[in-house]
């Protein structure tokens, strides 16, 4: 039975990878909701995103919802990064285990920035009017362990992107599976993210007046009209990964991870990650190389590094602090911090 599950998941992964490999033209920049591709969780970011089979905190709702079954205590996670330029990226995840075999969770992801001053062709130094832009996604997750070594999970989320008085909204789903194989405890994980509606910007900022009949005089030149905007898909992606505890003794653990990534708006790539834990998980060092195989002009990240501290207080209270540094190919580096409390 276990071998059949493993082979089935491998087949699903292979079909998805083959479909993306068939792309002959890069589709970079052709989807809406680009903020949904930003890594969530300092641990996951430090591992280069190679966490489909190894994510073990509330950020699983972003990467692979089925991993929530591995969280044994109610857990709250806060994650924040001063992203590129003036952007701020934040995440809140709350997970509640249910009956030992399932878990529910809620999550909020937000990309925000300070208000900006409006500029026009005639007033390029600014009009004095300020406007804002932001994106967020709010989701609800559920995961269940169907077999001792096999879990299934899903995340349903509402997504909103707003620029001044114009916005796009819709619903999307993330699904995932986790399988602990009989081969030296290797874990196999698959996640499909951002399967949902096409997005179209609509709002008052698209209202204009138009001359519907330029060949005649009268009131035809001031007819209210609405500018039409294109509809764009969300950044649908398939991730499949493996995790192996290459060395796992009581004081030291060494784990390696690899993920294959097949996005709808780019070529396929591979990410590698590794972490070393000391003193019974008290101190953890991490590193990762994401997006190996992408054309150089399409790569966003070069490498990632990070560390974590974890301590259990003996009364069902545990605290984790994680840090990640991501080196971007063109825009320098970013720092990400996560804090998790289990109780």
Which among 317, 280, 283 is positioned nearest to 76, based on CA atoms? 317
Q: Which carries the bigger pLDDT value, residue 42 or residue 211?
A: 42
Decide if 76 contacts 93 (C-beta within 8 A): yes
Structure confidence at residue 299 (pLDDT): 80
How much of the chain exceeds pLDDT 90, in percent? 59
> What are 84's two structure tokens?
């590129």
Which among 255, 261, 258 is positioned nearest to 241, based on CA atoms? 258
pLDDT (tens digit per residue) in 140-161? 999 999 999 999 999 999 999 9
Per DSSP, the residues of 148-208 read TTEEEEEEEEEEEEEETTEEEEEEEEEEEEEEE-SSTT-EEEEEEEEEE--B--EEGGGEE
Structure confidence at residue 330 (pLDDT): 82
Structure confidence at residue 19 (pLDDT): 45
pLDDT (tens digit per residue) in 17-34? 444 444 445 666 678 889
> What are 301's two structure tokens?
């990240």
Q: Is the pLDDT of residue 1 over 60?
A: no
70: left (phi over 0), alpha (psi -120 to 50) or beta: alpha
Structure confidence at residue 14 (pLDDT): 47
Confidence band of 86 (pLDDT split at 50, 70, 90): confident
Q: Which residues contact 21 (CB under 8 A, 6 or more apart)?
A: 268
Min mean pLDDT across 3-7, 30-34, 186-190 is at 3-7
Structure confidence at residue 154 (pLDDT): 97
Strands (E), 39-132: 75-82, 88-98, 102-112, 116-117, 130-131
264-272 average pLDDT score: 90
68-95 average pLDDT score: 94
Distances (CA, A) of 237 to 8, 48, 67, 168: 19, 16, 18, 20
How many Å is the maximal CA-CA distance in the chain? 86
Q: Which domains does the chain have, with CATH numbers?
A: 2-13+41-123+134-198+233-342 (2.40.160.60), 199-232 (no CATH)
pLDDT (tens digit per residue) in 304-335? 999 999 998 878 899 999 999 999 888 889 99
Cβ–Cβ contacts within 10 Å for residue 16, how many?
19
Q: Which carries the bigger pLDDT value, residue 237 or residue 250?
A: 237
Phi, psi (rounded to 5 degrees) for 178: -135, 130
> What are 154's two structure tokens?
């899903």
Place of tokens 């937000």: 110
Mean pLDDT score of the chain, rounded to an integer?
A: 87
pLDDT (tens digit per residue) in 124-133? 888 888 888 9
263-268 average pLDDT score: 88
265-281 average pLDDT score: 92
Q: Is the pLDDT of residue 69 over 70?
A: yes
CA 177/CA 197 separation, integer angstroms: 23
Q: Where are the alpha helices (DSSP H) in the chain?
A: 2-21, 42-46, 60-63
Structure confidence at residue 209 (pLDDT): 76
CA 58/CA 341 separation, integer angstroms: 10
Q: Is the pLDDT of residue 100 over 80?
A: yes
Structure confidence at residue 21 (pLDDT): 43
pLDDT (tens digit per residue) in 215-248? 666 555 677 777 878 888 999 999 999 999 999 8
39-58 average pLDDT score: 95
Which among 300, 163, 168, 157 is positioned nearest to 233, based on CA atoms? 168
């Amino acid at each position: 039975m276990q071998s059949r599950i493993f082979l089935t998941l491998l087949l699903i992964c292979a079909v998805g990878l083959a479909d993306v490999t068939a792309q002959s033209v890069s589709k970079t920049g052709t989807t809406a909701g680009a903020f949904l591709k930003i890594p969530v969780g300092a641990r996951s970011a430090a591992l280069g995103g190679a966490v489909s089979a190894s994510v073990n905190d509330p950020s699983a709702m972003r990467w692979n919802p089925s991993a929530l079954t591995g969280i044994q205590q109610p857990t709250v996670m806060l994650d924040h990064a001063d992203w590129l330029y003036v952007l701020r990226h934040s995440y809140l995840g709350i997970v509640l285990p249910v009956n030992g075999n399932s878990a529910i969770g809620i999550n909020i992801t937000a990309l925000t920035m300070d208000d900006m001053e409006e500029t026009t062709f005639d007033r390029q130094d600014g009009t004095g009017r300020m406007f804002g832009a932001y994106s967020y996604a709010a989701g609800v997750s559920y995961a269940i362990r169907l077999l001792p070594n096999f879990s299934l999970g899903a995340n349903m989320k509402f997504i909103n992107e707003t620029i001044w008085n114009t916005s796009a909204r819709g619903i999307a789903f993330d699904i995932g599976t986790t399988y602990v194989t009989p081969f030296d405890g290797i874990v196999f994980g698959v996640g499909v993210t951002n399967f949902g509606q096409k997005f179209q910007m609509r709002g008052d900022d698209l209202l204009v007046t138009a001359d519907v009949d330029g060949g005649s005089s009268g009131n035809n030149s001031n007819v209210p009209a609405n500018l039409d905007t294109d509809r764009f898909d969300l950044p649908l992606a398939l991730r499949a990964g493996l995790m192996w505890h290459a060395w796992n003794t009581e004081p030291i653990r060494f784990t390696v991870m690899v993920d294959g990534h097949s996005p709808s708006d780019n070529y396929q790539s591979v990410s590698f990650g590794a972490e070393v834990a000391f003193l019974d998980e008290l101190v953890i060092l991490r590193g990762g190389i994401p997006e190996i195989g992408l054309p150089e002009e399409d790569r966003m990240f070069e490498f990632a590094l990070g560390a974590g501290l974890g301590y259990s207080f003996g009364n069902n209270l545990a605290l984790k602090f994680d840090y990640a540094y991501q080196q971007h190919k063109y825009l320098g580096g970013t720092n990400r911090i996560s804090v998790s409390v289990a109780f």
